[in-house]
Amino acid sequence: MAGEGRQYVDFQISDAFGDSWQKECEVEYQGKTIKVVKPSKVMTTRADIRRINDKSNAQLQWVLHVINPAVATPDEVPKGPWKQTLHDITFYNHQHMTPLELVRFSTGSQASLRFRNKERAHVDFTWMNGEEQVGVGSRQWVDAMRLRFNLSCDDVMGLLHQAEIQRGMRPVYFQHLVRQSSEFEFDSFNADWAIECFMAQLAETLASGAHTSVESALREMASEKGMKRLADIPASLFQPDTENEAGTDQALQIGLHKLLERPDIQQLLLNCAQALWKPLAEIGGFVEWARQVLADTLAAGVQQTLSTLLPDVDERAVVTDSCWMSDLRTGAEWLEIWLCEMESGGSGILIRLQKKWAEDPVSFLNVLVRNLSASDYEQIDYDLRTVLQMLQTDYALRMAISAVREASNMDARREANKNLHLLLSQRGLRLSHSFTTVLYSRILRAGSGDDTDAQLYQLLSDWSSLEISTGIEFSMNTMAHALAVNALGVKTDASLVFNAQCRNQNLLWPRGYTVRQAELGFYNMFCSRKVTTERLLAGALFSEQIEKISLDEADWLGQLHMALCKAGRAELQLTRAQRNQLHQVINTVQIEPVDHLGLLLYPRLGEVRREQDVLILRIELAEAMQ
């Protein structure tokens, strides 16, 4: 059974379940009708552990089929930044006699079998009843919620043309292409390391300053010299075995070196890397992949909205699914996000969520939009870089930080911290727990000083400028290695490069896509593929054209009232230096009425948010928002 490539096996349900199954229903699947059976027991067989390795694994392939989506009446969404994209929201529940009837069934399984003699087998099992393909699952009546988004391929393509989104998604799509290739399809471990080595070399090549574009850097990497360098990357990217008297490399380094020496692997990586620079229209499958990323991101946002509004609910009690739909007659396309309770009969979770929606739908959707906005750690990254930048010219702040570092006892430390926090607050920085934690673990860590501040500021500046100039993001590990090589030279001993890389990693912190993916994820036990999210992609859906007024304007209040009379809402922007005027500005806005056609209307504060260095107040007329 062991062998290269994928094998296909028909698995009879009688071998798995005996005669204990019964027909559940028939559903449409891939353009044909398929029978779904529900077993009551499983026939087990002891695995031959003398041959099978414990690293063998298998994943069931699940399908969701909704039977009665029209049983409940959709609710229209109120006015807001979501209005152009979110079409409606529908609640299904037993309390109103409108439960959702759905069928979840498995069509088979994908198994990766590893044998103790190092051989492998990759098998696709399909459930069969004689000569007929069947599904194994059950039918349920559950409480659920559906969000329907009007999104077409053109809408997704429009989002992808934004430079910031491309910068984050191109490297992720490169990783996707490598992992899905036939060489790495069943070997994600080596795929991830090969990607890491390739991106480290690309960052190293670009950081040298000899190339102004990713395309030209890839041409150099494709040369004989470049491919030789690729095979040498593992020696400096991973820890050398200095205690080995024979001086031989570790098994991982040896295996990666041999892998990256293979011409077919080198060409595969170069071919996949075309996605890092080619025009989007010339990258095959990119838009289709981005559509699924967008669907997963919105699903994750909906799941987090549930956790925010109902913090006591276990996330595993609800399953979140995404489905792209289309109408062949009209050509219309839309995305459906389903939130379904695990238990049949209704456990009360979606009923509570529906009450939240009924009480204040605007607040409900604001939570969704907020979950798809920049996270606290993205803002902290910007704030820490701001602190380092201020240290270059702000003598008082530099002295305050030196006092914290040089404090010799508890009283001196407490007084120095108090003074530092006061200065940071006066400069418009928000001293949240997360910010102060990262501040003290990175900038104010033990052993830090003016030299580490200058070094960290230079590392972050080089990292940011390289990403902006090349149009792609790099992870912390690849940049730490690239900047170490750039400082020491390509011909430097691998152990010295590794030590310099470690010093860079100790100073830096994760940024970019790594943080965005960690902050916005969700788990669906019925999803066998890896879920990929990108906050930038979904967040751009809810950006709206709204008039922005700066507090620097002499007649900012008059301009704000004119914008409110015209559109019903506007955004007032305060710089970091103006944040101490926040309370005064809010009082002024709420006390001074807007004269609209002879009516004196009092505006309300709809939202306060930070976007890097700007504090934004969304001011609304409640009468215009209904």
Report the C-alpha gap between 462 and 440 in whole angstroms. Answer: 23
CATH class of the domain whose range is 545-624: alpha beta
Average pLDDT over every residue of 192-206: 96
Q: State the DSSP string of 80-140.
A: STTTTTEEEEEEE-TTTT-PEEEEEEEEEEEEEEEBTTS-EEEEEEEEEETTEEEEEEEEE
Q: Is 596 helix (H, G, I), strand (E, B) or coil?
A: strand
Compute the distance between CA of residue 122 and CA of residue 58 in angstroms, rounded to an integer: 9
Q: Is 147 helix (H, G, I), strand (E, B) or coil?
A: strand
pLDDT of 378 strictly over 60 = yes
With DSSP H G I counted as helix, E B as strand and the rest as coil, what are the percentages for the chain, rounded to 5? Answer: 50, 20, 30
Is-above-0.85 flag for pTM?
yes
Residues present in the chain in total: 626
Q: How far apart are CA 373 and CA 586, in angstroms?
A: 23
Query: Which has more pLDDT, 621 or 444?
Result: 444
Alpha helices in 161-285 (DSSP H): 163-180, 188-207, 214-221, 224-237, 251-261, 263-272
Q: What does pLDDT average to over the chain?
A: 90
| pLDDT given for residue 244 in this prediction | 52
Distance between CA atoms of residues 75 and 382, nearest Å = 39
For residue 250, the model assigns a pLDDT of 73
pLDDT at 624: 58
Q: Which tokens is 233 given?
A: 């990357």
Distances (CA, A) of 488 to 481, 492, 503: 11, 6, 13
φ/ψ of 438, rounded to 5, equals -70, -35
Identify the bridge partners of residue 140 per DSSP, sorted by sequence position.
Answer: 102
Average pLDDT over residues 408-422: 94
- Cα separation, 375 vs 476, in Å, equals 18
- pLDDT tens for 89-127 read 999 999 989 999 999 999 999 988 888 887 888 899 999
Among the listed residues 536, 531, 613, 606, the one whose alpha carbon sits nearest the alpha carbon of residue 564: 606
Residue 449, helix vs strand vs coil: coil
Strands 614-620 and 604-611: antiparallel
Q: Map residue 608 onto helix, strand or coil.
A: strand
Question: How far is C-alpha 504 from the geometric centre of its chain's CA atoms?
Answer: 25
In sequence order, the 6+-apart residues with CB closer than 8 A to the CB of 308 are 367, 371
The DSSP-derived string for 453-517 is HHHHHHHHHHHHHHHHHHT----HHHHHHHHHHHHH-TTS-HHHHHHHHHHHHHH----THHHHH
536-565 as b/e, with b when 16 or more CB fall inside 10 Å? bbbbbbbeeeeeebebeeeebbebbbebbb
Q: Which residues of 458-477 are buried (b: 16+ CB within 10 A; e: fewer)?
A: ebbebbeebbeebebbbbbb
Rounded CA gap, 222 and 212, in Å? 16
CB within 8 A of 410, min separation 6: which ones?
Answer: none
Using the predicted structure, report yes or no on whether residue 248 has a pLDDT greater than 60: no
Mean pLDDT, rounded, for 365-377: 90
Highest-confidence segment of 77-91, 269-283, 332-346 = 269-283
Closest by Cα among 159, 229, 292, 300 to 490: 229
Residue type, 401: I
Say how far apart CA 125 and CA 55 lie, in whole Å: 18
**Contact assessment for residue 85 and residue 151, using Cβ atoms and an 8 Å cutoff:** yes
The lowest-confidence range among 201-205, 327-331, 369-373, 619-623 is: 619-623
**The token pair that represents 230 in the structure block:** 């690729």
Measured over the CA atoms of residue 540, residue 371, residue 571 and residue 573, the dihedral's sign is negative
- Does pLDDT of 207 surpass 50? yes
Instruction: Look up residue 52 and give its DSSP letter.
Output: B
Give the Cα separation of 17 and 226 in Å (integer). 56
Non-local (6+) Cβ contacts of 34 within 8 A are: 26, 27, 28, 107, 133, 134, 135
DSSP 319: E
Specify the higher pLDDT residue, 400 or 597. Answer: 400
Angle at 542 between CA 540 and CA 546, to 5 degrees: 105
Mean pLDDT on 496-502: 94
pLDDT band at 543 (very low <50, low <70, confident <90, very high): confident
Going from the C-alpha of 387 to that of each of 462, 475, 557, the distances in angstroms are 17, 22, 32
Does 245 score more than 60 pLDDT?
A: no
pLDDT at 241: 60
Give me the percent of the chain exceeding a pLDDT of 90: 64
| Residue range 219-233, pLDDT digits in tens | 999 999 999 999 999
- For residue 247, the model assigns a pLDDT of 47
Task: Please choose, from the candidates 439, 454, 456, 435, the residue with its C-alpha nearest in 3D space to the C-alpha of residue 508.
Answer: 456
How many whole angstroms separate alpha carbon 165 and alpha carbon 367? 22
User: pLDDT at residue 239 above 80?
Assistant: no
Percent of the chain with pLDDT over 70: 97
| Residue 500 structure tokens | 């310099």
Check whether 243 has a pLDDT greater than 70: no
- Which pLDDT score, from 0 to 100, does residue 134 have? 96
pLDDT at residue number 1: 55
Q: What is the pLDDT of residue 542?
A: 86
Can you tell me the distance from the alpha carbon of 535 to that of 502, in angstroms, rounded to the nearest whole number?
A: 29
Domain ranges of the chain: 6-72+88-141, 163-281, 376-513, 545-624
Contact 269, 211 (CB under 8 A): no
**pLDDT for the residue 66:** 95
Tokens coding 519: 């902050």
Nearest Cα residue to 569 out of 83, 32, 225, 120: 83
3-state secondary structure of 59: strand
| Pairwise pLDDT comparison (49 vs 330), residue with the higher score | 330
Neighbours of 406 (CB within 10 A): 11
